[in-house]
């Protein structure tokens, strides 16, 4: 198959830091056009990628074979719908939609059109999560009964922008942002969820969406996930603490790929995705534990799988139906926090 022309909607942080570099580094994909109304960003995509800048979505679809939606969250569903109706397969940044029903409707539309729809749940390819999945598959922890996972940062002064200042209409806040990753990882690791309890707060002045939230999930298996997202963690906890019947895995520090991409590194640079040895996690018990080398992180695998899906018909890297289930958990978490109640969803 000839090179797949990619049209990228949005060139803010998501588009410029994550999608454009990964698309550019993927054999078989070419960043052909970018929707941006900012003259400086238009000049950058032309110089850096040789891409054409356009100002309207209707002008983008004829220039691409694949649409990537990396615009503000509230626009994900209408833009993905327009792309599918224009006959283009679609990658959508997370969260796919505001509600599980919106996501289900979008997946149904893609199925009727016989077009690929997938979601950029890139944290499935974090090195620490790849390591954890390997350890669980090998039986190194025994039966996992508790999964603790955190995305905690120390940002006492808000950065501004729609993610923090916007309300429900903007699909903002940490539950939809980093929480989308934590819930997705919990479902991937431990399977379907039957009950959700959540605490969700707005702690900082000038912020309109949750910036400090906790979720407790009970999975069908009886295992439990405890998930934290916070912008006010002066001392962040471990990224993972996973308890099993035989051993525990404890890991501090975030995956390095985002930091590397922000610094201008590319996925084919030596050492890209490699976790420093001092950040490796430990596996064991109070009696004996050993350091475990972190698997290299590999966000590039997402777009490699996209290219393979379009080129040979292999499955997409993320099934949108998985994301429907994750959004059902996030919706239940929002209800739980509002009603101070445990929400049963299965």
pLDDT tens-digit readout, 40-49: 999 999 999 9
Let me know whether 28 and 14 are in one domain: yes
Does the residue 78 lie in any domain?
Answer: yes
Cβ(125)–Cβ(302) under 8 Å?
A: yes
Q: Could you tell me the pLDDT band of residue 1, with boundaries at 50, 70 and 90? A: low
Report the CATH number at residue 90: 3.40.50.720
Give domain status of residue 318, yes or no.
Answer: no
Is residue 28's pLDDT more than 70? yes
The kind and range of the H/E element at 57 are: helix 57-60
Q: State the Cα–Cα distance between residues 337 and 225, nearest whole angstrom.
A: 16
Q: What angle do CA 237, 239, 245 make, to 5 degrees?
A: 100
List residues bridging with 34 in a β-sheet: 8, 53
Chain segment 147-192, per-residue pLDDT in tens: 999 999 999 999 888 888 777 778 999 999 999 999 999 999 999 9
Least Cα distance to 186 among 28, 303, 325 occurs for 325
Statement: the pTM of the whole predicted model exceeds 0.85:
yes
> How many separate domains does the chain show?
2
- Asked whether residue 316 is domain-assigned, the answer is no
Q: Is 208 in the same domain as 100?
A: no
Rounded to a whole number of angstroms, the CA Rg of the chain reads 20
Is 267 found in the same domain as 179?
yes
110/157 same-domain check: no
- SS3 state at 148: strand
Residues 115 and 151 reside in one and the same domain:
no
User: CA–CA separation, 283 vs 261, rounded Å?
Assistant: 29
Residue 164 counted as domain residue: yes
Indicate the residue among 98, 120, 142 that finishes a domain. Answer: 120
Q: Domain check: are 31 and 131 in the same one?
A: no
**Token pair recorded at residue 255:** 């995956």
Q: What is the pLDDT of residues 98-156, one digit of tens each?
A: 999 999 999 999 999 999 999 999 999 999 999 999 999 999 999 999 999 999 999 99
User: Do residue 204 and residue 233 come from a single domain?
Assistant: yes
Domain interval for residue 73: 4-120
- 190-201 as b/e, with b when 16 or more CB fall inside 10 Å? beebebbbbebe
Q: What is the percentage of the chain residues whose pLDDT exceeds 90? A: 95
Same domain flag for 116 and 131: no
- The residues, ordered by sequence, that sit 6+ positions from 288 with a Cβ below 8 Å of its Cβ are none
Task: State the pLDDT confidence band at 241, using cuts at 50, 70 and 90.
Answer: very high
Instruction: Kindly report the average pLDDT of the chain as a whole number.
Output: 96
Cα diameter, the chain: 63
Query: What's 338's domain CATH number?
Result: 3.30.360.10
**Which position has the token pair 């090998």?**
138
Q: What integer pLDDT is reported at residue 160 of this predicted model?
A: 82
Q: Is residue 96 located within the same domain as residue 167?
A: no
Per-residue model confidence (pLDDT) at position 303: 98
SS3 22: helix
Q: How many CA atoms lie within 13 A of 335 on its CB side?
A: 13
* 19 within 8 A of 8, measured Cβ to Cβ: yes
Residues 331 and 175: their CA atoms lie apart, in Å, by 9
- Are 144 and 258 members of one domain? yes
Is 225 found in the same domain as 169?
Answer: yes
Q: What whole-number distance in Å separates Cα of residue 255 and Cα of residue 279?
A: 10
Question: Which contacts of 265-270 are long-range, i.e. CB under 8 A and separated by 24 or more positions?
Answer: 266/21, 266/24, 266/25, 267/21, 267/22, 267/25, 267/298, 267/299, 267/300, 268/25
- Residues 330 and 175 sit within 8 Å (Cβ to Cβ): yes
Among residues 120, 135, 151, which one ends one of the domains?
120
Residue 315 within a domain = no
Q: Tell whether 313 is covered by a domain.
A: no
Which of 89, 120, 151 is at the close of a domain? 120
The residue ranking higher by pLDDT, 87 or 162, is 87
179 and 211 fall within a common domain: yes
Residue 128 lies in a domain: yes
């Amino acid at each position: 198959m000839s090179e797949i022309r990619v049209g990228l909607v949005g060139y803010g942080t998501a588009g410029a830091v994550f999608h454009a570099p990964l698309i550019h580094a993927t054999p078989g994909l070419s960043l052909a056009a970018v929707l941006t109304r900012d003259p400086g960003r238009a000049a950058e995509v032309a110089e850096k990628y040789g891409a054409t800048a356009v100002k309207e979505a209707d002008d983008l679809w004829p220039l691409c074979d694949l649409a990537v939606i990396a615009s503000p969250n509230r626009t994900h569903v209408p833009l993905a719908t327009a792309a599918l109706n224009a006959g283009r397969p679609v990658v959508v940044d997370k969260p796919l939609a505001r509600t599980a029903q919106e996501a289900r409707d979008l997946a149904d539309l893609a199925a009727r059109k016989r077009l690929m729809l997938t979601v950029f749940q890139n944290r499935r390819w974090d090195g620490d999560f790849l390591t954890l999945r390997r350890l669980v598959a090998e039986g190194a922890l025994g039966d996992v009964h508790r999964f603790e996972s955190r995305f905690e940062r120390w940002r006492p002064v808000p950065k501004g922008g729609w993610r923090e200042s916007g309300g429900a209409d903007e699909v903002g806040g940490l539950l939809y942002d980093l929480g989308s990753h934590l819930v997705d990882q919990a479902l991937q690791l431990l399977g379907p969820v039957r009950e959700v309890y959540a605490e969700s707060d707005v702690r900082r002045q000038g912020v309109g969406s949750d910036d400090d939230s906790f979720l407790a999930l009970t999975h069908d298996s009886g295992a439990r996930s405890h998930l934290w997202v916070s912008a006010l963690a002066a001392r962040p906890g471990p990224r993972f603490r996973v308890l099993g019947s035989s051993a525990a895995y404890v890991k501090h520090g975030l995956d390095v790929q985002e930091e590397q991409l922000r610094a201008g590194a590319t996925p084919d640079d030596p050492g890209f995705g490699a976790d420093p040895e001092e950040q490796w996690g430990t596996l064991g018990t109070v009696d004996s534990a050993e350091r475990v080398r972190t698997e290299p992180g590999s966000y590039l695998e997402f777009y490699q799988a996209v290219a393979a899906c379009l080129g040979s018909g292999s499955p997409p890297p993320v099934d949108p139906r998985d994301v429907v289930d994750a959004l059902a958990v996030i919706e239940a978490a929002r209800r739980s926090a509002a009603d101070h109640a445990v929400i049963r969803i299965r």
